[in-house]
Amino acid sequence: MNTDNDPFDTTQKLKSSPVPVLFIPLKDNEDKCNHCGTEYSKSLKYNQKYCKNCLFRYIQNITVNNKYLNVHLSTNNSQCIKHKTTRKDFYTTSIQEWCEYCSEILYFTQVVTRNIYCWHIFNVEHCELCNYRRLSIYQVSSGWVESTLNKKSILILYLPWWDSYSQCIVCYEELKYIYQESKSYCQKWCSHCFIVYNGCRYCLTTNMIFGITDQSQCKKCKRTSFIRIDITDRNYIIEEFLASIRIDNKNLHLIGNYKNRNTIGYPSGLYSFINKNLRLSLHKKTIKEIEEVKWIPYSQITDLKKIAEGGFSIIYKATWEGIDVAVKKLHDSQNISKYFLNELRSLYQCNDGNEWVIGCYGFTQDPITKEYMLILNYAEDSKVFIVRILYIEIFIVEICYYLNIGKLET
pLDDT, tens digit (0-9, with 9 covering 90-100), for 65-77? 778 888 888 887 6
Residue 403 C-alpha from the chain's centroid: 37
Phi and psi for 276 in degrees, rounded to 5? -65, -45
**C-beta of residue 51 within 8 angstroms of C-beta of residue 37:** no
Mean pLDDT, rounded, for 200-224: 93
pLDDT band at 290 (very low <50, low <70, confident <90, very high): very low
How many angstroms separate the CA atoms of 30 and 395, rounded?
50
Strands 360-365 vs 372-377: parallel, antiparallel or unpaired: antiparallel
Could you read off the pLDDT of 79-92 as tens digits, one per residue? Answer: 777 766 556 667 77
Q: Which of 161, 158, 194 is nearest to 176 (CA)?
A: 194
DSSP states along 49-118: EE-HHHHHHHHHH--S------EEEEE--PPPSSSSS--TT-EES-GGG--TTTEEEEEETTEE-TT---
Mean pLDDT, rounded, for 253-269: 67
- The pLDDT assigned to 52 comes to 94
- The pLDDT assigned to 30 comes to 93
How many angstroms separate the CA atoms of 58 and 324, rounded?
54
Could you read off the pLDDT of 15-25 as tens digits, one per residue? Answer: 899 999 999 99
Residue type, 101: Y
Residue type, 278: L
How many angstroms separate the CA atoms of 180 and 34, rounded?
13
For residue 292, pLDDT over 70 is answered with no
How many separate helices (H) and strands (E) can be counted in the chain? 6, 23
Could you read off the pLDDT of 330-341 as tens digits, one per residue? Answer: 888 777 665 556
Mean pLDDT, rounded, for 279-305: 67
**C-beta of residue 375 within 8 angstroms of C-beta of residue 347:** no
Strands 323-330 vs 301-310: parallel, antiparallel or unpaired: unpaired
For residue 376, pLDDT over 50 is answered with yes
- The pLDDT assigned to 158 comes to 92
**C-beta of residue 81 within 8 angstroms of C-beta of residue 101:** yes
How many angstroms separate the CA atoms of 396 and 119, rounded?
54
Q: What is the DSSP letter of 119?
A: G
Going 243 to 246 to 248 to 252, the CA torsion angle's sign is negative
Q: What is the overall mean pLDDT for the chain? A: 74
- The pLDDT assigned to 408 comes to 37
For residue 204, pLDDT over 90 is answered with yes
| Mean pLDDT lowest among 2-6, 106-110, 191-195 | 2-6
Q: Which of 115, 197, 114, 109 is nearest to 161 (CA)?
A: 109
The structural domains of the chain, with segments of one domain joined by +, span: 141-286, 294-408
- The pLDDT assigned to 392 comes to 39
The CATH code that applies to domain 294-408 is 1.10.510.10
Q: Which of 363, 321, 318, 333 is nearest to 345 (CA)?
A: 363
**C-beta of residue 107 within 8 angstroms of C-beta of residue 46:** yes
Please state the pTM of the whole predicted model: 0.74
For residue 343, pLDDT over 90 is answered with no
How many angstroms separate the CA atoms of 388 and 206, rounded?
41
The half-sphere exposure of 167 on its side-chain side, counting CA atoms within 13 A, is: 10
- The pLDDT assigned to 42 comes to 93
The CA-based diameter of the chain, rounded to the nearest angstrom, is 91
Could you read off the pLDDT of 231-250 as tens digits, one per residue? Answer: 665 666 676 677 666 666 67
Phi and psi for 67 in degrees, rounded to 5? -95, 110
| Mean pLDDT lowest among 84-88, 131-135, 173-177, 320-324 | 131-135
Could you read off the pLDDT of 31-55 as tens digits, one per residue? Answer: 999 889 999 999 988 889 999 999 9
Burial of 225 (0-12, 13-18, 19+ CB in 10 A): buried
Question: What 3-state DSSP class applies to 179?
Answer: coil
Q: Which of 67, 93, 95 is nearest to 203 (CA)?
A: 67
